[in-house]
Chains A and B, each alone.
Chain A
Amino acid sequence: MSFTVELIISVLLVIGSVFVLIGSIGLLRLQDLYVRLHAPTKATTVGLGSILVASMIYMTFVQGFFSINELLITLFLVITAPVTAHILAKAAMHNKVKALERTKNMDLMRTAREQLPPEKNQDVK
């Protein structure tokens, strides 16, 4: 394996791990549940995608033929991560988890819980 390929794989791996780490730091540091949902869904998915691309390149060079099956995991995660985030936000709302004090338009949570459209005076803020 040439030096350039090793460099590309290492850089991809390090970028991926940094993003995964940022996702976990965000999970620990951010202040309320709704804000906390943002970090793992975005950062961790892209971090894992980067690690998977690195693994794909590495396996291609180790095995000698194009290794494509890591792409399946990436695709699966990109499809499922938003679904998990959406259903968790939904569960949090219906369980009346409190949002931060400074959250704007907090009264929208009340109508969202009932799956009703926002009331007129709510929308004007």
Chain B
Amino acid sequence: MSMLARLVPMPLHSFMLLIVWLMINASLSVGHILLGTLLGIIIPLLCAPLKVPQPSIKKPLKVVSYVLLVIKDIIVANIEVAKLVLGPMNKINPGFIAVPLDLKDNFPITVLASTVTMTPGTVSAEVTKDKAWLYVHVLNMPLDEQELVDVIKQRYESRIKEIFAC
């Protein structure tokens, strides 16, 4: 068992490399599967010393529902942005807000910042050094700023917390 663990230090990454190799070549022949498996074993072995420990995904099923939610929000975001872009410029009231973070590790914060950027009217701009605050630029500021902070915290951050169980 330890032999297998030493040979394949990152099983998920190896599997993803195999899938991407098959997708690039768009084939399922034996040769490509063998070559992809070989690459999936060799590349993680070479990259294993570079690895920074990250919290792993504890609940894979929640990832699917989270991705679906984000895709829905991206489509809504685009229609809203399109309306604002084609409308009069004077109506746009931009602003900055600071969101307090409950997440502690780099990878979950990256996921949250990327989600915030892709969803309605917000772009993440900066994370503080102590990883406790996320600065967000808002395209069209609502009257109540606290409401927007609550939406980000409840809609996205709590779900990411559940996925990583931290």
Contacts and interface: CB of A to CB of B under 8 A. Distances in A.
Consider the complex of A and B and state whether they touch directly, i.e. have CB atoms less than 8 Å apart: yes
Interface residues of A, number: 51
B23 A69 contact: yes
A54 interface: no
A34 B97 CA distance: 13
Interface of B: 20, 23-24, 26, 74-75, 77-78, 81-82, 85-86, 89, 92-98, 113-115, 117-118, 121, 123-130, 132-133, 135, 137, 139, 141, 145
Contacts of B121: 38
A122 B97 CA distance: 10
A105 interface: yes
B93 A86 contact: no
Contact of A38 (B26, B113, B115, B139): B139
A121 interface: no
B74 A117 contact: no
A33 to B, nearest CB: 10
A104 B138 CA distance: 9
Nearest to B120: A42
Contacts, number: 134
A109 B20 contact: no
Contacts of A69: 23-24, 26
Contacts of A90: 125-126
A57 interface: no
Contact of A104 (B24, B82, B96, B114): B96
Contacts of A106: 96
Contact of A109 (B86, B96, B118): B96
B85 A26 contact: yes
Contacts of A103: 94-96
Contact of B81 (A38, A108, A122): A38
A72 B86 CA distance: 31
A118 B126 CA distance: 12
Interface in A81-112: 81-83, 85-86, 89-90, 93, 99-100, 102-106, 108-109, 112
Nearest to B28: A65
Contact of A108 (B118, B127, B135): B135
Contacts of B82: 19, 22, 43
Contacts of B92: 30-31, 35
18 contacts: A19-B78, A26-B85, A29-B85, A30-B92, A37-B123, A39-B85, A45-B118, A46-B78, A72-B20, A82-B113, A85-B123, A104-B95, A105-B96, A108-B96, A113-B126, A115-B126, A115-B127, A117-B128
